[in-house]
Structure 1
């Protein structure tokens, strides 16, 4: 007699292996299914779900090129395409810890590892179906993000001592934490822990303690949960946050490394990893976290070109800080590979001027390798366009700070869209550069200020020495270069003998910093005046 478990159910199999599709379809037909559809990719599955409400989805974790099963689940939830009654089951032939734990963390309705028997499949489906029917109102409230109704329905099931009261206690505690009603959440969790010290209750209580700054208690609860299950990546997350709050980044890094080893495919976890790497000033770790954020989001609903841009920006920032030429070369190669790879992903980069971004990246790398004139020349060729493109305006600011055009960088930084600046990775890249440059900028400003004072007092040789020292700190600074030119011209006019040829070369070198560069109006006028003076003076010096 044919089993009717799947009778009248709309089923979607998402798997890129045709042989498995046909085999699995046979299994499902023997369980009563007559309406079975296929999709070989996550993208095609998403398109099908946009038109049809499926009752059960069997989704392979690995789907070749494109979205994986985990990303498809995220997309379906984000777009509200997975209805409250629907069952989503992840299926995979891989049982590695990172894959399994990362998938389970997203909480699909179930997770199956190939091979599995028909009896196991049937029992899993029946169990989930019963739960969906019994708690239909609750699943609808969760789907609608109706927190108050979620609370009410969970409390009712718990009061009636229903079959799913433990599940409802967990949902209720999570909901109360989300609403920041920590005392109420603690009461619910205490009642659970009095009956049994299970892992989910320990972790939720650890979160409550952390939110209330009871850090020692939070760490102890995490340790207890890890004694039960060493694969509780979230326990390591909470411990990492706790140690970071205690200003102990070394311990925090040990915990977050353990978490990412277990389950690396979490954006929230990678952001925490980056926070801790920042606290430790660990450049390689920051690049790694930025790369992971890009990889995680590349095929997901959270796909955003900013993750790619920030990854490349992070590599260049690391190259800027590196004192080893070989390491700088490795970072430069990583930038080249990332740019080349991005070129093949037109859907990701089509909304920005990627050519311009690439040009600015190359200019920044030229600056890192000491080719300051080339960096500024490259910038000059695209300056007018670069200053009007919001997506690459941060890169313009980063480049200008690198070559010492601090005033112009500050002006453009104020024009970056606040929404763009709110991105935590970009915000940190900009603020870190500012912090790293702060003492250099202060020293530069002081030398320039002292040079101006000496010039006004008629001490032109002393002024020139100070301006040239300032240029060593900010080699392409327009204002300071103009100061060098003005002072050199003054010395050339007043010296009838002495180092005239040498002074002429110093003047020419400073002119190269400014020639053919986009200049603010006040600098442009001054440049024209000095160029006129130089042109009048040069023939006379040659005759001598």
Structure 2
């Protein structure tokens, strides 16, 4: 029996519940129904901003949130923001209420690990059944959830494993398995997660959360061929079609098939593209040199969200980022136009910024704009003020990369290199596949433009070797693959990646297969030492085959 160190038994007071619904009648009805189920302490809000403010003064046990919240950000966007800032804790029960069963909507909701999705119009009986089941499962899982709140996922997983091994009631077994899968994914234990989700689907192929858990596991393990086959099948599922297109596009971008990725994203209407899917499509356009299409898409998104300040900030900054990209590649005259457009967009974004991370992102991009405009004193002043009030290590990866470019341009190379190391750490722990792809592209592009591609590739390879020596093959693969892509043609990088694949007993990693690596290494001259390594690896590969 494990010791529940740090576990606090629940107090006997009533659970605190937050309801977020923009329709006053629907909000009152839901409140009334919940009060008939249990003596909850309920707070009601009409939008996500009110919920965010409410969370600053109260801790909630359960949150019921509508997907559509008027003209503002939708429920998924608000919950994601609250998760990113640490306001939404793992122990909070998440109930999504929606009358929209469109594939894109359900797909977005599933990404947040909701406890329950309530489809309107719901019956009181159905709502009661779902809430009572959640309360019963919560009581059983509470020690694990509290460990997760305290960022002690290892303890949470140990608790869940012990309960499952000792046998739990059939009624809550799926809840325990679902939480175990979530913990394994969070801890990057993708092989174990793959086995867990596969076993669930063998018993019941219709479990959506298990499908998406398996897809995530195989995507991050680099087993993209099998991942793609699963997604092809899910295209026919009405509830997950659009999300499947996003994932398929991500796979094709990772394999550098940008035309096919663009065609896959064309299956989703521009008006229904999420901010992440918009970033994916913009990346496809950028790499193919389709600047007009990229600008058109982003400008359309900005215009359609002028009345939604929170979402306007995201799209305005994406458009500003693209203008900065163009400024670096255009002639002087056109570069001036792009820099001016970027500054206008950042000014537009600043009017709706309500959180520190967005403010940091805007300031850093503005400093980069002035640096590109050859106004170093102003760039220095902006980045110095931002660094004084913020910790760049807590920023998202694109913001850190912008800061790297500014520090390098101003001659502060040590600060820039320290941030690059932080980018490496964040990239290894990123749970969002789209953000991970976009960040990787930005990182490699920046390193090459700064002329430090080889230096960084060698450093990344060293990190891979350190992970490999500890038999952490999945994280080692990630580092070796990055070094291999950052500076192609180095035999040691190819050999390290091939050897790690053989030890992990894997035939592929993302868009690289063992056959491809063997052919590449066979076409170049190797040193005697590397030839011996190659012979040793071939023996291992025979066993895998």
Distance 1:22 1:15 in 2: 9
CA contact (8 A) 1:233 1:259 kept: yes
- Provide the residue aligned with 1:342 in structure 2: 349
Q: Return closer, same or farther for 1:213/1:192 CA change in 2, 3 Å cut-off.
A: same
**Aligned with 1:283 (options 288, 291, 299):** 291
- Provide the residue aligned with 1:144 in structure 2: 150
Distance 2:20 2:219 in 1: 40
Q: Return closer, same or farther for 1:245/1:51 CA change in 2, 3 Å cut-off.
A: closer
- Provide the residue aligned with 2:77 in structure 1: 71
Distance 1:186 1:352 in 2: 37
- The offset of 1:122, in angstroms, is 1.9
Tell me whether 1:188 sits opposite 2:199 in the alignment: no
CA contact (8 A) 2:104 2:242 kept: no
Tell me whether 1:216 sits opposite 2:222 in the alignment: no
- The offset of 1:317, in angstroms, is 4.0
For residue 116 of structure 1, give the secondary structure of its aligned residue in structure 2.
coil
- Write out per-residue CA displacement over residues 367-423 of structure 1, whole angstroms, 9 at most, x where no aligned residue: xxxxxxxx8xxx6xx554344432899xxxxxxxxxxxxxxx998364475277757
- The offset of 1:124, in angstroms, is 2.1
Tell me whether 1:103 sits opposite 2:109 in the alignment: yes
Distance 1:306 1:351 in 2: 11
Question: How many pairs align?
Answer: 393
CA contact (8 A) 2:94 2:115 kept: yes
- The offset of 1:130, in angstroms, is 1.9
Distance 1:132 1:359 in 2: 47
- Provide the residue aligned with 1:526 in structure 2: none
- The offset of 1:221, in angstroms, is 2.3
Distance 2:209 2:26 in 1: 34
Tell me whether 1:134 sits opposite 2:115 in the alignment: no
Deviation larger for 411-420 or 182-191: 411-420
CA contact (8 A) 1:71 1:299 kept: no
**Aligned with 2:382 (options 377, 389, 412):** 389
CA contact (8 A) 1:186 1:208 kept: yes
**Aligned with 1:249 (options 243, 258, 264):** 258
Query: Unaligned regions of 5+ residues in structure 1, if any?
Result: 1-6, 365-374, 394-408, 436-544
Tell me whether 1:44 sits opposite 2:50 in the alignment: yes
- Provide the residue aligned with 1:315 in structure 2: 323
Query: Unaligned regions of 5+ residues in structure 2, if any?
Result: 1-12, 387-405, 424-438, 452-545
- The offset of 1:80, in angstroms, is 4.9
Within 5 A, what are the aligned runs for 1:368-447? Answer: 384-390=377-383, 412=409, 414-415=411-412, 418=416
- Write out per-residue CA displacement over residues 278-328 of structure 1, whole angstroms, 9 at most, x where no aligned residue: 44333356557878799899749xx9x8985553141354488789x9x99
Distance 2:259 2:441 in 1: 21
For residue 205 of structure 2, give the secondary structure of its aligned residue in structure 1.
coil
Distance 2:243 2:176 in 1: 20
Q: Return closer, same or farther for 1:205/1:283 CA change in 2, 3 Å cut-off.
A: same
Deviation larger for 38-47 or 171-180: 171-180
CA contact (8 A) 2:380 2:410 kept: no
Q: Return closer, same or farther for 1:144/1:341 CA change in 2, 3 Å cut-off.
A: same
**Aligned with 1:240 (options 233, 243, 249):** 249
What is the root-mean-square deviation in Å for CA atoms of aligned residues?
5.1
Larger RCO (alpha carbons 8 Å, 6+ apart): 2
Within 5 A, what are the aligned runs for 1:145-544? Answer: 145-159=151-165, 160=167, 162-163=169-170, 164-198=172-206, 199-229=208-238, 231-258=240-267, 264-265=273-274, 267=276, 269=277, 272-284=280-292, 286-287=294-295, 299=310, 308-309=316-317, 311-315=319-323, 317-318=325-326, 338-339=345-346, 341-342=348-349, 344-345=351-352, 347=354, 384-390=377-383, 412=409, 414-415=411-412, 418=416
- The offset of 1:106, in angstroms, is 1.8
Q: Return closer, same or farther for 1:107/1:391 CA change in 2, 3 Å cut-off.
A: farther
CA contact (8 A) 1:290 1:307 kept: yes
Q: Return closer, same or farther for 1:86/1:246 CA change in 2, 3 Å cut-off.
A: closer
Distance 1:239 1:96 in 2: 19
For residue 58 of structure 1, give the secondary structure of its aligned residue in structure 2.
strand
Q: Return closer, same or farther for 1:122/1:330 CA change in 2, 3 Å cut-off.
A: farther
Q: Return closer, same or farther for 1:391/1:425 CA change in 2, 3 Å cut-off.
A: farther
CA contact (8 A) 2:321 2:365 kept: no
Question: TM-score, length-normalised on structure 2?
Answer: 0.56
Q: Return closer, same or farther for 1:288/1:61 CA change in 2, 3 Å cut-off.
A: farther
- Write out per-residue CA displacement over residues 249-280 of structure 1, whole angstroms, 9 at most, x where no aligned residue: 2223333554787974364x555445444443
Question: TM-score, length-normalised on structure 1?
Answer: 0.56
- The offset of 1:129, in angstroms, is 1.5
CA contact (8 A) 2:363 2:383 kept: no
Distance 2:27 2:204 in 1: 42
Distance 1:178 1:79 in 2: 17
Distance 2:225 2:442 in 1: 33
- Provide the residue aligned with 2:492 in structure 1: none
Q: Return closer, same or farther for 1:37/1:414 CA change in 2, 3 Å cut-off.
A: same
- Provide the residue aligned with 1:61 in structure 2: 67
Distance 1:83 1:43 in 2: 17
Q: Return closer, same or farther for 1:155/1:200 CA change in 2, 3 Å cut-off.
A: same
CA contact (8 A) 1:102 1:266 kept: no
Which of the two has higher C-alpha Rg? 1
